[in-house]
């Protein structure tokens, strides 16, 4: 089989004809029930979830009131990508989202890669939301006096890693009472869990429960899913408006000073977490075949969802940072926290209930998206035919929906929330990058039938080079130290927690003796606490570096340097190299500015994720390539057509 066959493309005309032939091939049509209002509601259902109920707290703590600019930046990046999605959705109004669009723009191999990445995005996204829902649900039960054992409300990895860290900190002198709430919960879950030999049975059973419930609803039909989603959206929008209406009377404008306490770096610190708050609008595009007028309604649904959610995020962020000082908001449930702190416990309870509803609606939209991706890939022969089976009564991709339930529910019992959040983000951003690139590739093609929506054209020939030059000027004139540290791979000092948790008992004793000798003061009444002793110096970088330099332990425990430091910079180097290439491409080909900005901003957010996420994502893609060359390539309908 020739190398060129890896990039064989589907034409838009063939895709539209295939829809008409699906029924003859045994693929029944999906029911068309959705309007622009329904699509907007699905978008709000997907976006208004973990972001407004959880990650907004951490982002506000890092950036202060100026976090509103982070929401604007992220919304802008998503809007650029949404333009590209909307143009493709109008051009190719079928289920499949970025997978189908890539088949048209780049060819089969790239389409498979993006389809495989989307499978990870939706599966991991569902796992993330299920775990978050479990946290809120168990918290709600506890506030009502129902206390579940820790080992049935926590994933295995969190319990295992938390137990190790808690044990290390207690060995270094920290008492159990002075551990963080998360470490306490992990330690308790691990030590109280049933064991089989050396295996500890720790599993997040509430997460399993909500996945089974939502999967059954999605299997039952689009009408039922739509009605449930619309109802949940109305409820949580009413709750959020209530939060704003009540909270605005408790705003103290003095809390908005300083507006950006940690500068631009503080605002951008939460970029990846806040981006996760916007994930979901792209899932709307997977429902194209179930829209009454997809070419008109899909673009409208995406744009309205992003606009409405951005306004809500900004207003809520201003109210939160006005009610309490930004430094107090680094909590998992910031909305409930601020009302509890102001002794408005009835509002705190309402927020907790609405969070449970919000998380369920996000899971509903994500759980609809993945079976439709599998269905599209199956129709093209890249997955077994059964994945495209449509239920004769419910008009949903039945087999793919059931498989999705298993794929999501089993890992949700054991996986760590931080790991799955970042994996979901990198898969989504990768999809956004390719969709934006697809619009750029097709922008000058005259053989592509255009839909009712087209991204407004602005020539980027001079804009992108100017923006690159301005960025370099800022980096070397206003952020010179950080820039030079990055370029020269300057050795970095580890933080106190990293250093202390890596010590054995003998090293802990030496460190304690040294810290006492240089005048460190105990900050607790309990036994010696090395983490607190060393953390005293972290407020002043120069003083902390001097104290760490004198610690009587190996330098590998104190510093990160060389290859171990450089590997964390690889994603940013990839971004910078690609950015230079895009600058030349935009100058030579007069590329459209909006999709190009979408590509650049999404690639930048990918670069902000850790190198481990890139490694895990690459491993996932390699598994996908093995499946493609082992099954999909020879069973592709384009291959059979050529034969």
Query: CA torsion 266→272→275→277, rounded to 10°?
Result: -90
> What confidence score (pLDDT) does residue 124 get?
76
Q: Which CATH number belongs to the domain containing residue 94 in this structure?
A: 1.20.1740.10
Residue 307 maps to a domain: yes
As a whole number, mean pLDDT of residues 625-634 equals: 88
Q: Are residues 252 and 276 in the same domain?
A: yes
Residue 351 maps to a domain: yes
Per cent of the chain over pLDDT 70 is 85
Q: Are residues 509 and 370 in the same domain?
A: no
Residue 427 maps to a domain: yes
> What confidence score (pLDDT) does residue 225 get?
65
Q: Which residues pair with 200 in a beta bridge?
A: 195
**Does residue 397 have a pLDDT over 50?**
yes
Nearest to 149 by CA among 195, 112, 90, 204: 204
Per cent of the chain over pLDDT 90 is 4
pLDDT, tens digit (0-9, with 9 covering 90-100), for 454-473: 788 889 888 889 999 998 88
As a whole number, mean pLDDT of residues 623-630 equals: 89
In whole angstroms, give the CA distance from residue 245 to residue 227.
27
**C-beta separation of 635 from 385 below 8 A:** no
Q: Are residues 259 and 181 in the same domain?
A: no
**Does residue 26 have a pLDDT over 50?**
no
Q: Are residues 515 and 529 in the same domain?
A: yes
> What confidence score (pLDDT) does residue 221 get?
65
Residue 568 maps to a domain: no
**Does residue 30 have a pLDDT over 80?**
no
Domain extent, residue 188, equals: 156-202
Residue 601 maps to a domain: yes
**C-beta separation of 217 from 364 below 8 A:** yes
DSSP string, 413-474: TT--HHHHHHHHHHHHHHHHHHHHHHHHHHTT-SSSPP-S--PPP-B-TTHHHHHHHHHHHH
**C-beta separation of 40 from 308 below 8 A:** yes
**Residue of 399 and 173 predicted with greater confidence:** 399
Q: Are residues 168 and 139 in the same domain?
A: no
Which residues are CB-contacts of 138 (< 8 A; sequence separation ≥ 6)? 148, 153, 206
Residue 473 maps to a domain: no
In whole angstroms, give the CA distance from residue 305 to residue 310.
9
C-alpha to C-alpha distances, 385 to 21, 391, 469, nearest whole angstrom: 15, 14, 51
As a whole number, mean pLDDT of residues 528-542 equals: 73
In whole angstroms, give the CA distance from residue 44 to residue 291.
17
> What confidence score (pLDDT) does residue 21 get?
63
**C-beta separation of 281 from 385 below 8 A:** no
What is the C-alpha radius of gyration for the chain, rounded to an integer number of angstroms? Answer: 26
Nearest to 310 by CA among 582, 552, 68: 68
Q: How confident is the model at residue 582 (pLDDT cuts 50, 70, 90)?
A: very high
Q: How confident is the model at residue 523 (pLDDT cuts 50, 70, 90)?
A: very low
Using the 8-state DSSP alphabet, how is residue 495 labeled? P
Q: Are residues 433 and 358 in the same domain?
A: yes
In whole angstroms, give the CA distance from residue 279 to residue 600.
17
> What confidence score (pLDDT) does residue 584 get?
92
Q: Are residues 177 and 212 in the same domain?
A: no
Highest mean pLDDT among 40-44, 359-363, 599-603: 599-603
Q: How confident is the model at residue 20 (pLDDT cuts 50, 70, 90)?
A: low
In whole angstroms, give the CA distance from residue 463 to residue 479.
23
Q: Which pTM value belongs to this model?
A: 0.77
Nearest to 262 by CA among 337, 330, 182, 331: 330
**Does residue 23 have a pLDDT over 60?**
no
> What confidence score (pLDDT) does residue 626 get?
92
**Does residue 526 have a pLDDT over 50?**
no
DSSP string, 292-303: SSHHHHHHHHHH
In whole angstroms, give the CA distance from residue 538 to residue 534.
8
pLDDT, tens digit (0-9, with 9 covering 90-100), for 123-140: 777 777 787 778 778 877
SS3 383: coil
**Does residue 51 have a pLDDT over 70?**
no
**Residue of 535 and 241 predicted with greater confidence:** 241
**Residue of 410 and 268 predicted with greater confidence:** 410
> What confidence score (pLDDT) does residue 27 get?
46
SS (H, E, C) 327-367: HHCCCCCHHHHHHHHCCCHHHHHHHHHHHHHHHHHHHHHHH
**C-beta separation of 207 from 359 below 8 A:** no
Q: What is the number of structural domains in the chain?
A: 3
Residue 566 maps to a domain: no
Q: Are residues 525 and 629 in the same domain?
A: no
In whole angstroms, give the CA distance from residue 276 to residue 254.
30
Residue 486 maps to a domain: no
Q: Are residues 306 and 226 in the same domain?
A: yes
**Does residue 29 have a pLDDT over 60?**
no
Q: Are residues 309 and 326 in the same domain?
A: yes
Across the chain, mean pLDDT equals: 79
> What confidence score (pLDDT) does residue 599 get?
92
> What confidence score (pLDDT) does residue 152 get?
79
pLDDT, tens digit (0-9, with 9 covering 90-100), for 317-375: 888 888 888 877 776 667 777 887 888 877 877 877 877 877 777 777 777 777 877 88
SS3 200: strand
**C-beta separation of 417 from 207 below 8 A:** no
**Does residue 272 have a pLDDT over 60?**
yes
**Residue of 313 and 229 predicted with greater confidence:** 313
As a whole number, mean pLDDT of residues 164-185 equals: 75
Q: Are residues 183 and 282 in the same domain?
A: no
As a whole number, mean pLDDT of residues 389-411 equals: 80
**Residue of 416 and 89 predicted with greater confidence:** 89
SS (H, E, C) 522-588: CCCCCCCCHHHHHHCCCCCHHHHHHHHHHCCCCHHHHEECHHHHHHHHHHHHHHHHHHHHHHHHHHH
Q: Are residues 359 and 418 in the same domain?
A: yes
> What confidence score (pLDDT) does residue 558 get?
81
Task: Give the tokens for residue 73.
Answer: 């930046």
């Amino acid at each position: 089989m020739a190398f060129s066959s890896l990039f064989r493309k589907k034409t838009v005309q063939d895709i539209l004809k295939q829809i008409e032939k699906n029924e003859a091939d045994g693929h029944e049509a999906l029911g068309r029930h959705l309007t622009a209002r329904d699509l907007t509601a699905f978008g709000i259902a997907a976006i208004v979830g973990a972001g407004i109920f959880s990650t907004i707290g951490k982002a506000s703590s890092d950036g202060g009131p100026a976090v509103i600019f982070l929401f604007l930046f992220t919304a802008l990046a998503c809007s650029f990508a949404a333009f590209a999605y909307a143009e493709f959705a109008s051009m190719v109004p079928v289920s499949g989202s970025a997978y189908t669009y890539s088949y048209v723009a780049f060819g089969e191999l790239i389409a498979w890669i993006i389809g495989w990445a989307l499978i990870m995005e939706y599966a991991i996204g569902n796992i993330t939301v299920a775990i978050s829902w479990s946290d809120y649900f168990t918290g709600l039960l506890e506030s009502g006096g129902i206390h579940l054992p820790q080992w049935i409300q926590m994933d295995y990895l969190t319990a295992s890693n938390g137990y190790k860290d808690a044990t290390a900190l207690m060995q270094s002198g920290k008492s159990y009472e002075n551990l963080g709430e998360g470490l306490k919960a992990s330690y308790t879950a691990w030590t109280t869990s049933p064991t089989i030999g050396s295996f500890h049975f720790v599993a997040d059973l509430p997460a399993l429960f909500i996945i089974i419930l939502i999967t059954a609803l999605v299997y039952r039909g689009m009408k039922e899913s739509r009605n449930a989603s619309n109802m949940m959206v109305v409820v949580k929008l009413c709750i959020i408006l209530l939060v704003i209406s009540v909270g605005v009377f408790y705003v103290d404008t003095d809390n908005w000073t300083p507006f950006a306490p940690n500068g631009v770096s503080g605002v951008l610190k939460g970029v990846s977490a806040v981006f996760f708050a916007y994930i979901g609008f792209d899932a709307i595009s997977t429902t194209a075949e179930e829209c009454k007028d997809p070419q008109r309604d899909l673009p409208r649904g995406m744009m309205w969802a992003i606009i409405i959610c951005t306004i809500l995020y900004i207003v809520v962020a201003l109210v939160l940072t006005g009610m309490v000082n930004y430094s107090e908001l680094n909590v998992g449930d910031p909305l409930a926290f601020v009302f509890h702190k102001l002794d408005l416990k009835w509002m705190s309870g309402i927020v907790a209930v609405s969070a449970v509803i919000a998380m369920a609606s996000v899971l509903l939209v994500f759980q609809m998206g993945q079976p439709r991706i599998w269905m599209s890939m199956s129709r093209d022969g890249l997955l077994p035919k059964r994945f495209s089976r449509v239920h004769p009564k419910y008009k949903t991709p039945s087999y793919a929906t059931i498989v999705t339930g298993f794929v999501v529910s089993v890992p949700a019992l054991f996986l760590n929330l931080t790991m799955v959040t970042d994996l979901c983000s990198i898969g989504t951003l990768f999809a956004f990058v390719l969709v934006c690139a697809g619009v750029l590739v097709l922008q000058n093609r005259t053989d592509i039938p255009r839909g009712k929506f087209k991204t407004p054209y602005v020539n980027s020939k001079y804009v992108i080079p100017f923006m690159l030059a301005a960025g370099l000027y800022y980096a070397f004139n206003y952020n010179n130290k950080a820039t030079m540290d990055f370029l020269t791979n300057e050795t970095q000092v580890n933080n106190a927690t990293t250093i202390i948790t890596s010590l054995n008992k003998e090293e802990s004793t030496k460190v304690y003796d040294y810290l006492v000798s240089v005048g460190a003061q105990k900050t607790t009444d309990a036994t010696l606490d090395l983490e607190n002793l060393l953390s005293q110096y972290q407020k002043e970088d120069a003083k902390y570096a001097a104290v760490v330099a004198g610690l009587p332990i190996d330098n590998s425990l104190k510093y990160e340097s060389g290859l171990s430091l450089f590997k964390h910079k690889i994603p940013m180097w990839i971004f910078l190299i690609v950015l230079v290439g895009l600058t030349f491409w935009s100058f030579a080909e007069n590329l459209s500015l909006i999709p190009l900005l979408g590509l650049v901003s999404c690639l930048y957010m990918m670069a902000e994720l850790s190198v481990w996420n890139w490694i895990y994502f690459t491993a996932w893609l390699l598994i996908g390539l093995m499946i493609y060359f082992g099954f999909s390539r020879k069973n592709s309908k384009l291959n059979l057509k050529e034969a």
